Amino acid sequence: MKIWLRMMAFTVLAALAMALVACGGGSSGGSSGGGQSSGPVTLEIGSKGEELAFDKTELRVAAGQTVTLRFKNNSAVQQHNWILVKGGDAEAAAIANAGLSAGPAANYLPADKSNILAESPLANGNETVEVTFTAPAAGTYIYICTVPGHYPLMQGKLIVTN
Ligand SMILES: [Cu+2]
């Protein structure tokens, strides 16, 4: 009888442990976690005070994951946006250059959005904006701000894992 009880207790504990492991992956954004979780995730990022910089230069998500990115503009005076680029440095530079003449009404983005995977609205000083998108295929992607003059300094990498 005692042994039977002990085995029961062990079984319950094992089941609990497995349930905890199963739940552990989905909680919140940013953990590398090996990509086993693919539930929706919210990522938080901001600009770095009055600097032309993001306060995080690396973000991680899983391929196919629904991502809500909340971007807080921590500057009082600068406008910023958060643009996810399809391609490398050349594509990012082309988008930023075309955005120069596009103006704020166009979110400093070109009309041709073929190399833009996600774009936040333009955030005024101290404003928080967000964008929801589906994480692309595994790989490393560049995110930038296309407000004139910001692109060379305001960059980061989104790492998408399988
Ligand atoms: Cu900016």
pLDDT exceeds cutoff 60 at 24: no
Tell me the CA–centroid distance for residue 3 and ligand 1, in Å.
Answer: 66
Q: What is the per-residue pLDDT for 37?
A: 60
Tell me the CA–centroid distance for residue 76 and ligand 1, in Å.
Answer: 12
Alpha-carbon distance of 139 to 162, in angstroms, equals 9
Across 14-18, average pLDDT: 40
* DSSP bridge pairs for 41: 67
DSSP H helices, the chain, are 2-24, 89-102
Across 135-153, average pLDDT: 97
Q: How confident is the model at residue 1 (pLDDT cuts 50, 70, 90)?
A: very low
Q: What is the per-residue pLDDT for 120?
A: 98
The CATH H-level (homologous superfamily) assignment of domain 29-161 is Cupredoxins -  blue copper proteins (2.60.40.420)
Tell me the CA–centroid distance for residue 148 and ligand 1, in Å.
Answer: 8
Alpha-carbon distance of 146 to 90, in angstroms, equals 14
Tell me the CA–centroid distance for residue 145 and ligand 1, in Å.
Answer: 5
Average pLDDT, the chain: 85
Q: What is the per-residue pLDDT for 36?
A: 53
pLDDT exceeds cutoff 70 at 46: yes
Across 19-40, average pLDDT: 49
Question: Helix, strand or coil for residue 28?
Answer: coil
Across 45-56, average pLDDT: 98
Alpha-carbon distance of 65 to 25, in angstroms, equals 13
Write down the residue that tokens 């692109």 correspond to: 151
Q: What is the per-residue pLDDT for 38?
A: 78
Q: What is the CA radius of gyration of the chain?
A: 21
Q: What is the per-residue pLDDT for 71?
A: 98
Tell me the CA–centroid distance for residue 13 and ligand 1, in Å.
Answer: 51
> Rounded to 10 degrees, what is the CA torsion of 71, 72, 74, 78?
60
Across 121-135, average pLDDT: 98
Across 5-24, average pLDDT: 42
Phi and psi (nearest 5°) for 4? -60, -45
